[in-house]
Structure 1
Amino acid sequence: MVLGIFVGGLALSGCSSESKDKALKESDVTLITNVLPDGEVGAAVICDFGDTIDSSKLTKDSFKVEVEVNGKPKKRTISKVYTNNKVAVSESSKEGQYVVIELDTKDEYASTSTFNEEKFLSTRDNLDYTVTLTKEVKTKEGIAYKASEKKNKISNVVTPVVDDFKKGVYQDASGSKMQYRLFEPKKEPNKKYPLVLFLHGSGERGNDNYMQVVGNEGAVAWANPQQQKKNPAYVLAPQVKAAEKLTAYWTEEPNYTTMFNLLKETIDKYDVDKNRIYVVGMSNGGIGTWNIIKKNPDLFAAAVPICGIGDFNGSNLVGEYEPLKDASVFKEIKDMPIWAFHAEDDPLVDVRYSRDAVNAIKELGGSSIKYTEYPKGTVKPMGHSSWIPALQDKEMVNWLFNQSK
């Protein structure tokens, strides 16, 4: 897997002893994580040996990489080992002091988070990595790093794109607080930029100000370098606190008002193009997306609700499907560009909720509504995860940025 990552300005200490034999220090080991469509994974470990490495004898079995899971070390699968002249994952090996150990991002222990089914909550905790030298590594100056049973812990974690999001805590006039991440585009003078508001799903609730940007691609899809080069934009990703009872939190107080006030302050504070404000949400965030556009039909230029409920009534979050009773609830947004996504076999949010919303808008005369329904068995790992293909749909991404009030 080629990640194409460069971490500018990262200071990793080298080894300075005059001895001809040295040991790798924990301060020399960095974990690179990467956010994939289904969440963040440990993607590579990079070791700094201080001097240019003789790469001629480096092999995949020169190292052992482990991650602690539930208190036990689990071996990660190494896919590639090579040298580089910077802290980066590269397409080809270059002479340098860094050894890049790429990991199989599909192996059993790749994920950096744990999902608690009872609480319906993910936590980012699988970052306790170690690397062990199983074969001697030499520099071109003849200094040897001997094979050892010592497990060197990582001292740095770098997550490209996510690290470019600023952390913040917003507090409104009522005293209600909400953590958030904000990505700012590279700006030019006297130019305004669109803003994407991303509303996370239930698994990404919490107080860490991380899970809403690493739990899936919902936020980073709009901030990655390729996308920003084509469509520079702000990305705002608030995070709701985790409550014991799972509710439609984006529709409830104080969450809704605090989130909306945060959005308004961001729009006013930065050079945001007020004609190009978009909202994207998945699952519970999909419910929040339908909710916020119905309450503010004149604010948003377009919306992408993914596996949501178009007309949440306070009781249809769980349990049996409830048919739409009144199509007129969509009257104010019938002409808004909306692209809804859902999987036919979604086991958590009945697909009929999206069908009802789309059909109601069409019955009201709306012609800007688009709908993608994934056939049974096509969305992996389960039907609820329709955001995985939706966020990789380049047609949808281009469509979104082409919308303007």
Structure 2
Amino acid sequence: MKNAIKLSLLLSLACLSGLPAVSPMPAMAADETAPAPRTLVSVSATAHNYGFGEAISRVSVKYPTPIDGRSLSPSDFSVEGKTISSASVGTSPDKVKGESSGPYVILSLSNTNPQSDKPLPAPGEQGKERHRDLPEKGSQSGSRMGPPMSSSKALPDLSFSLKQTGLVWDTKGIPYLPSDTLYTARAAEPELQGFQEGSYEDPVTGAAMPYYLYLPKGMERGKTYPLIVFIPDASADTNDTKLSLVQGNGGTIWASREEQAKHPSMVLVLHYSKDLVDSLGMMTTDENKWTPGLTLAYDTIRHIVDTYPVDRNRIYGTGQSQGGMANIALSDRYPDLFAAQYLVACQWNVEEMAALKDKNLWILVSEGDTKAYPGMNRAVKLWQSLGTPVATSSLWDSHSDKGAWNHLTGAMLQQGRPIQYSVFAGGNHMYTWTIAYNITPIRNWLFTQTKDGTPAFASTRGLSKEEKRSLA
């Protein structure tokens, strides 16, 4: 009797959904064994490096038969602690191709930026939040808002649990029933593939700096390649070296398939560990003075340049907060090191920044950054007083789309100046780099720069017409 009721319900659901009805099954004799339940085969997931850090972006569910995508809904599944934004089917677990059927159900997860695009409240206002890399106490410099002596940041948790909560129909009109079975796994990290972990030990002090190095695929003997040097903010200053890769996308985006197709290059991600903080002190401080940590960073870069086939005419520096400050300090002391730099959410001793007046720079800060914004405003005025023209614009909308970014950057470059200074409307210190490295035209601009001023024509290969027009 119960089996008959269940079949009746399934037939009714099939009619309502517009899918073929389930064929009636013969009634089982009392001594017959029930057939094994139809269920999914396996689950897997992929993590993505967002500007705000690494998180699971996609979960793939494999079934033994092709699934019909017509009635598929995100509500047919639940992923613990996550919001499913869409559900689709396909023949591969890796990509959504708009297919109508396939053995894989691909669930896209919604991951929102935890950093606000609004300025932080003024000191003393109720509800004020403090950045994790700007604690009230414990800075080496003694400043209330100085860099931290340690970070509590941890690697992201990429484990997940999934349930099928609704009917999932295959192409023959037979459903896979909801189940309380919990499927657990850990997400893969394809964007980290190709990065090799290494360490440089200073022969004088014995201090060792961990790093990750990406080498472009298909490197040719006798050919040299551009080098991108990325230094993260101080929240990554722990002994988990991998944090420098996953705290955001400032290091990994240069090694993406799309970026390497346009700009084959090496990528060096430096890691300033807690052990180094304890033994050498912070890499950068509010006093804006040269530190042993900066010496170690420079020596590590030189080690890579001397060991690998680096195009010394095209070494590019970039970093956020601590990493941007380190970039400025390195360029101040070694003006021939970088062909160009992308400086994000940072500032330095303004008088020392006079040494950068003839450099190729793109600077990006947020209007609500209480240190970087006024600091870079002073630097721009200094450079202008020294005769260096600086390209500026009205405040940028950080929510711009691809076309708007091409327009905004193109308008800056049309001013024909070596230094570009862009400011997000609103925002705050940490918000800046959650967006900064997603701006494709700025990444393209970096690769067009050379130390000797000769055009880097090869750097525009693979660019769209709109991207080329933004660089013209």
User: Partner of 2:218 in structure 1?
Assistant: 187
Q: Distance in 2 between matches of 1:334 and 1:374?
A: 19
Normalising by structure 2, we get a TM-score of 0.66
Given the alignment of the two structures, is residue 163 of structure 1 paired with residue 200 of structure 2, yes or no?
no
Kindly indicate whether the alpha-carbon contact (under 8 Å) linking 1:21 and 1:143 is maintained by their aligned counterparts in 2.
no
Cα 1:365/1:121, change in 2 over 3 Å: farther
Cα 1:64/1:107, change in 2 over 3 Å: farther
Matches within 5 A, 1:301-340: 301-311=339-349, 324=350, 327=351, 329-340=352-363
Q: Displacement, 1:141?
A: 8.7
For residues 8-34 of structure 1, what are the alpha-carbon distances to aligned partners after superposition, in whole Å with 9 as ceiling and x for unaligned? xxxxxxxxxxx7435556xx3222121
User: Partner of 1:78 in structure 2?
Assistant: 84
User: Partner of 2:112 in structure 1?
Assistant: 106
Q: Distance in 2 between matches of 1:375 and 1:78?
A: 30
Q: Distance in 2 between matches of 1:344 and 1:79?
A: 32
Q: Displacement, 1:276?
A: 0.3
Q: Distance in 2 between matches of 1:35 and 1:287?
A: 23
Alignment partner of 1:256 out of 294, 299, 316: 294
User: Partner of 1:65 in structure 2?
Assistant: 79
Matches within 5 A, 1:272-311: 272-311=310-349
User: Partner of 2:232 in structure 1?
Assistant: 200
Deviates more, 1:366-375 or 1:93-102: 366-375
Deviates more, 1:83-92 or 1:143-152: 143-152
User: Partner of 2:309 in structure 1?
Assistant: 271
Q: Displacement, 1:342?
A: 1.9
Given the alignment of the two structures, is residue 151 of structure 1 paired with residue 185 of structure 2, yes or no?
no
Cα 1:146/1:35, change in 2 over 3 Å: same
User: Partner of 1:39 in structure 2?
Assistant: 53
Q: Displacement, 1:51?
A: 4.8
Alignment partner of 2:447 out of 385, 394, 401: 401
Cα 1:235/1:63, change in 2 over 3 Å: same
Matches within 5 A, 1:215-234: 215-234=247-266
Q: Which amino acid aligns with 1:274?
A: R
Q: Displacement, 1:241?
A: 1.5
Normalising by structure 1, we get a TM-score of 0.76
Deviates more, 1:353-362 or 1:194-203: 353-362
Q: Distance in 2 between matches of 1:340 and 1:248?
A: 23
Q: Distance in 2 between matches of 1:163 and 1:94?
A: 31
Unaligned runs of 5+ in 2: 1-34, 115-130, 136-149, 390-416, 452-472
Cα 1:127/1:246, change in 2 over 3 Å: farther
Kindly indicate whether the alpha-carbon contact (under 8 Å) linking 1:279 and 1:302 is maintained by their aligned counterparts in 2.
yes
Cα 1:50/1:169, change in 2 over 3 Å: farther
Q: Distance in 1 between matches of 2:132 and 2:367?
A: 25
Kindly indicate whether the alpha-carbon contact (under 8 Å) linking 1:31 and 1:44 is maintained by their aligned counterparts in 2.
yes
Q: Distance in 2 between matches of 1:133 and 1:389?
A: 34
Kindly indicate whether the alpha-carbon contact (under 8 Å) linking 1:362 and 1:369 is maintained by their aligned counterparts in 2.
no
Q: Per the alignment, in what secondary structure is the counterpart of residue 217 of structure 2?
A: coil
For residues 199-247 of structure 1, what are the alpha-carbon distances to aligned partners after superposition, in whole Å with 9 as ceiling and x for unaligned? 1012222222332222222112322222221112111111111358997
Q: Distance in 1 between matches of 2:278 and 2:206?
A: 22
Q: Distance in 2 between matches of 1:141 and 1:258?
A: 64
Q: Which amino acid aligns with 1:306?
A: V
Kindly indicate whether the alpha-carbon contact (under 8 Å) linking 1:178 and 1:259 is maintained by their aligned counterparts in 2.
yes
Cα 1:240/1:334, change in 2 over 3 Å: same
Q: Distance in 2 between matches of 1:64 and 1:370?
A: 49
Provide the aligned C-alpha RMSD in A.
3.1
Kindly indicate whether the alpha-carbon contact (under 8 Å) linking 1:138 and 1:145 is maintained by their aligned counterparts in 2.
yes
Q: Per the alignment, in what secondary structure is the counterpart of residue 436 of structure 2?
A: helix
Q: Displacement, 1:253?
A: 5.0
Q: Percent identity?
A: 26
- Paired residues in the alignment total 351
Q: Distance in 2 between matches of 1:142 and 1:296?
A: 69
Kindly indicate whether the alpha-carbon contact (under 8 Å) linking 2:151 and 2:236 is maintained by their aligned counterparts in 1.
no
User: Partner of 1:238 in structure 2?
Assistant: 270
Q: Displacement, 1:394?
A: 3.6
Kindly indicate whether the alpha-carbon contact (under 8 Å) linking 1:58 and 1:82 is maintained by their aligned counterparts in 2.
yes
Cα 1:178/1:22, change in 2 over 3 Å: farther
Q: Per the alignment, in what secondary structure is the counterpart of residue 228 of structure 1?
A: helix
Q: Which amino acid aligns with 2:88?
A: Y
Kindly indicate whether the alpha-carbon contact (under 8 Å) linking 2:113 and 2:434 is maintained by their aligned counterparts in 1.
no
User: Partner of 1:319 in structure 2?
Assistant: none
User: Partner of 2:126 in structure 1?
Assistant: none
Q: Distance in 2 between matches of 1:209 and 1:247?
A: 17
Q: Distance in 1 between matches of 2:310 and 2:332?
A: 22
User: Partner of 1:370 in structure 2?
Assistant: 419
Unaligned runs of 5+ in 1: 1-18, 67-73, 109-114, 312-323
Q: Displacement, 1:274?
A: 0.7
Q: Displacement, 1:138?
A: 6.1
Q: Which amino acid aligns with 2:448?
A: N
Deviates more, 1:97-106 or 1:385-394: 385-394
Q: Displacement, 1:364?
A: 3.2
User: Partner of 1:70 in structure 2?
Assistant: none
Kindly indicate whether the alpha-carbon contact (under 8 Å) linking 2:46 and 2:59 is maintained by their aligned counterparts in 1.
yes
